[in-house]
Amino acid sequence: MLGRKDGPPNGARKEQKAGFLTKLRGVMYGMASHGNVTAALRTRMHLEHLFMFITLGDMLGIPVLPPYYSLRILPYAVPNIESWKQRVFRERDFTDAIY
């Protein structure tokens, strides 16, 4: 077998290189922006809680908005009511604040 190089074929090298670049991209993402992304997601979660609380505060016995405006916003909030109630009324532990 003259003229043939030892090692993986050309297609396997490309796959190895692509796998390495994917791993490198993941490491760079973790070092550079993971903290920013999680902070942005946490801020979004708090704003969604606040929106649902203001819109549907009557369910908790705290009228924040007049019922007319709550009813106007209700069609946009209905799909999220069940998951919002589960998140708000979930039992919490002191370790939740750490993560």
Q: Whose structure tokens read 């979930």?
A: 90
90 CA to centre of own chain: 18
| pLDDT for 81 beyond 60 | yes
Q: Is 29 left (phi over 0), alpha (psi -120 to 50) or beta?
A: alpha
Q: Whose structure tokens read 């909030």?
A: 77
Taking residue 19's Cβ as centre, other Cβ atoms within 10 Å add up to 10
What pLDDT is recorded for position 72? 82
* pLDDT interval class at 6 (50, 70, 90): low
Q: What whole-number distance in Å separates Cα of residue 24 and Cα of residue 33?
A: 14
What pLDDT is recorded for position 41? 92
Question: pTM (2 decimals)?
Answer: 0.56
* pLDDT interval class at 63 (50, 70, 90): confident
